[in-house]
Amino acid sequence: ADPIPTTVTSCSALVKCPLQCVCQIRPWYTPRSAYREAATVDCNDLFITAVPEDLPAGTHTLLLQSNNIARLEQSELDYLRNLTELDLSQNSFSNVWDFGLKSMPQLLSLHLEENRLTELPDSSFPGLSSLQELYLNHNQLRRIAPRAFAGLSSLLRLHLNSNLLQMVDSRWFQMLPSLEILMIGGNRVDAILDMNFRPLSNLRSLVLAGMNLREISDFALEGLRSLESLSFYDNKLVTVPKRALQRVPSLKFLDLNKNPLQRVRQSDFTNMLHLKELGLNNMEELVSIDKFALINLPELTKLDVTNNPKLSFIHPNAFHHLPQMETLMLNNNALSALHKQTVESLPNLQEISIHSNPIRCDCVIRWVNSTETRIRFIEPQSTLCAEPPDLKRRHIRDVPFREMTDRCLPLISTQSFPSRLEVMDGDNISLHCRAMAEPDPEIYWVTPSGVKLIPYAHDGRYKVHPEGTLEIMGISAQEAGLYTCVAHNLLGADTKRITVLVNSSFPHSEASLELVVLDIQPYHILLTWKPHLNAVSSNLTWSSFLLSSSLDTTNVARIPLGTHAYNITRLHQDTEYWACLHVAFVDLQAKVACINARTKEATRHHRFLGDRQCLLTLLALSILLLATGLVARLISHKPTPCSFPLLPPLLAAIPQSEAEGMDGSHMGQTEQKWQQ
């Protein structure tokens, strides 16, 4: 069939256009985005197996996408002296020698994506000395020789994404001194080595998405001094590669979306002087943005932290010195609130998005309704209260916050850690407990054996961070069991538990409960007991035998977890008492241990007794006992012969602030009575 002649409007004369192709002038942009009008021959989607013959001599852009071409000779294109862009994507090339483009010094743009190339040998693209764009994405490239790109000294843009590469070789880049854009994502590369991109001093944009990267070494990004945009989208990074990022001085846009980060930690983003936008979206594991996570980012204008289903905590001081921050996107997280301080720390904030979070409309979020708020809420219609029940689904801006108290109880976020975790013997684990309240809550953890772990105190392989994360280095099978987080402020406490199974099991406590009298005085009795594995709750009850039972009802005190001693105060002198400890365990069992003891007779002698020797003996004994952890086992049931009211080391074991049963006012009353 004869080609049907059509006009190419750029030429004054009639030019033949090959059958089924479309020849017209189309807008065209150079790789540096300069606009041109280009004589374009569009032969896309024709299922042809060879380049059509007799193309218009003035062809600038030749589109041969989605055909079945597997070979191409230089002679087939030789006469197209002005050919600038050649699109051979979605064809059947399997070998780089099958497109014999030996000399096309005018070609700027070559598309070879979605072919079947498996390998690029040395000097794969000879004679393309002006080439600026090369698209090789979506092939099956497993190997690229060190000098594959030799001669491409003008190349600005290289797309190698979605191939089968297993390593990124810095020698490739020595041939590409002008490169500005490199897309290499979607290759299963284990590691980016130090100095991997060093020759690319002109690179402006680097995409390392979907590569399975677990770690970025400290010098991996060395030499990228012009880099402005960097994407680590969809990798396996568990921490922010902060040292590597420090070596990219010009960075403006950073995408860390879809990585399994659990926390954004202190100083993760620091002193990045040109950073304008940061993305921390779609992170399944992200729980918390810790104190001083972002520090001194003088040009940051937009922070995107959205669609993180566990993100339940942003520290009031998470941000420090972000003077240009205008837009804070926090929608679709698990945030119950955002602190006023967080917002106030951003002097230039214009708009904020917190819709689609389980917002608790109480004191923490009260600032939303303050008249000083100059901040625009994005999608106010869907910014709703999730709690308390009576405000559910109310628009947050309509809530009459003024009537509320400015203090509220801590509530531990249900998203921050699971109720059950299975790990292997020797694993390092991190449990993130976060709570928001006013005033800020303090957090501690209690181990299965009842040991209380407080922030900053290093207890062997346990470490509690002030925000509430418990880290256990190399957990052993004996340490499996019930871990409890307690968040408390002056209004009260909230607890949340997690059962940690090591190698699919955890030990049960076999030992029986044992209650021991540590000290007896006329008006108080100090009891102690051995910590029990996996206790869920403990109560202490006591009553006297003698006093009329109708008047003297049984007293109950809830024992805070991690407490193993209790001072029963306001007792009557010389009276027989009966006390019982009730402990409920994680497996729904309960145990009770009881003891009886008689308070002493109040005498003058009592108050001024000062037997130094006895005190020292008792002190030494108690220190020894605490050190060996055998308090309960070694102390006899009989009251000790010494009668000193205070044993300093034991005192330390009794929490003062949050002891729910140890009411300071009661103690005061007892003391008054004592002095009468």
Q: In this chain, which of 45, 425, 601, 611 binds ligand NAG, going by CB under 6 A?
A: 425
58-78 b/e (C-beta count within 10 Å ≥ 16 → b): bbbbbbbbbbebbbbeeebbe
How crowded is residue 423: how many other Cβ atoms within 10 Å of its Cβ? 16
Q: Counting beta carbons within 10 angstroms of the beta carbon of residue 388, is it exposed (0 to 12), middle (13 to 18) or buried (19 or more)?
A: exposed
Among 590, 594, 634, 652, binds ligand NAG (CB under 6 A): 590
In angstroms, give the least distance from the CB of 539 to ligand NAG. 4
In the window 200-229, what residues touch ligand NAG (CB under 6 A)? none
Q: Do the beta carbons of residue 39 and residue 60 sit within 8 Å?
A: yes
φ, ψ of residue 666 to 5 degrees: the values are -65, -45
Among 102, 392, 420, 558, binds ligand NAG (CB under 6 A): 558
- Which one, 57 or 634, has the nearer CB to ligand NAG? 57
Residues numbered 608-667 forming contacts with ligand NAG, rule: CB under 6 A: 645-646, 651, 667
Q: Is residue 561 a contact point for ligand NAG (CB under 6 A)?
A: no
Q: Is the dihedral of CA 464, 470, 476, 479 positive or negative?
A: positive
Binding mask 429-468 for ligand NAG (x = CB under 6 A): ----------------------------------------
Structure tokens at 260: 């399994």
Query: Helix or strand or coil: residue 50?
Result: coil
Q: Which stretch binds ligand NAG (CB under 6 A): 234-242, 397-405, 443-451, 572-580?
A: 397-405
670 scored as a contact of ligand NAG (CB under 6 A): yes
Picking from 196, 192, 188, the residue whose alpha carbon sits closest to that of residue 241 is 192
Options 234-242, 337-345, 439-447, 535-543: segment touching ligand NAG (CB under 6 A): 535-543
* Residue entry with tokens 């409890």: 484
**Smallest distance from the beta carbon of 655 to ligand NAG, in angstroms?**
11
Q: Which of 8, 526, 540, 632 binds ligand NAG (CB under 6 A)?
A: 526
Q: Closest-CB residue for ligand NAG? A: 58
Closest distance of CB 524 from ligand NAG, Å? 4
> Sign (positive/negative) of CA torsion 264, 379, 403, 496?
negative
Cα–Cα distance for residue pair 441/411, rounded to 1 Å: 9
**Whether 222 contacts 170, CB under 8 Å:** no
Cβ nearer to ligand NAG, comparing 281 with 567: 567
Asked if 395 interacts with ligand NAG (CB under 6 A), we say no
Identify residues 49-68 at the interface with ligand NAG (CB under 6 A): 57-58
Amino acid at 59: T
H/E element holding 244?
A: helix 242-245
Query: What is the four-CA torsion angle of 620, 622, 624, 627, rounded to 10 degrees?
Result: -140
* Spatial distance between the Cα atoms of 325 and 313, rounded to a whole number of angstroms: 20
Q: How far is the CB of 652 from ligand NAG (least distance, A)?
A: 10
* Cα–Cα distance, 631 to 450 (Å, whole number): 14
Q: Which stretch binds ligand NAG (CB under 6 A): 231-239, 289-297, 357-365, 578-586?
A: 578-586
Q: How far is the CB of 650 from ligand NAG (least distance, A)?
A: 6
Q: Which residues bind ligand NAG (CB under 6 A)?
A: 57-58, 81-82, 369, 371, 397-398, 400, 424-428, 473, 477, 503, 524, 526, 537-539, 558, 567, 569, 582-584, 590, 645-646, 651, 667, 670-671
